Amino acid sequence: MRALTRRRALLGLIAGLVLGAAAPGRADLIPLSRNITQNGNADLSGQLCVEVTDLGGGVIQFLAQNAAGGVASAIQAFSIELGGLNWTAASLVEGPGTKFQFDTNYNLPGGNTLSPPFDETFAIVRRGGAANGINPGEYAGFQLVTTVSFADMLSAIANGVVRLGVHVQSIGSTGGSDSYINSTVVPEPSGLVLAVVGVGALGLMGCRRRRSRSGSALQAVPGCRAELCGPVSGQNTVGD
């Protein structure tokens, strides 16, 4: 009887963990580790990433992050290529100290050298001075309204159907610029820890302001590299 009770409890716990993994709020980190311009600047591949979060209700959030404590640099543009996936609206997310706006005509520098060329669905670009970009410890992005499930979106990113890219300026002591995109690898889940006490433990851990715009639609940020990034606190909403 005790063995049966323990077995039922374990099965219930596993079922709860599985349901929890698929529930809204799950976030995955996508490293932007591929430098497509190679302009001879300091390597930023370990401090740039995009946190993709399932907000529920058909809304997926994409936040570009520049890790705190990294090389001096500022993300000036964040592009997404959706590869034909359906979307209906997008809203801008600006972290403290950043100012961005949507641009449907932006071309990621170096993107045309890729095979196939990087073809932006849209981008968010810095408005105002260079200091309004995403400096170390800052973030900005957008929330995407889509009929694509969170799992299918992550799969599309891993397979290269959806590509993410940033253009970074004021890099290190030289002040140069480079463009980085995600590599087509399966991302590690973040913000998710599964533990089964007494049976063994398994862990899965990875790394706001809003403005609306007709056409396509995102929330939180724990870091690209654990030693560089920490959780982002606070979220502000920006009206049109």
Chunked in runs of 10, what are the mean pLDDT values of the chain (240 residues)?
49 43 78 96 96 97 96 97 97 98 97 96 96 97 98 96 98 96 64 30 31 36 41 36
Q: So what's the pLDDT on residue 225?
A: 45
66 close to 48: Cβ distance less than 8 angstroms: yes
Cα distance between residue 159 and residue 4, in whole Å = 43
Q: Which residues contact 218 (CB under 8 A, 6 or more apart)?
A: 53, 55, 59, 60, 61, 62, 63, 91, 93, 141, 142, 143, 144
Q: So what's the pLDDT on residue 3?
A: 52
Q: Are strands 188-190 and 27-31 parallel, antiparallel or unpaired?
A: antiparallel
Q: What is the pTM of this model?
A: 0.73
Cis before 222 (ω within 30) = no
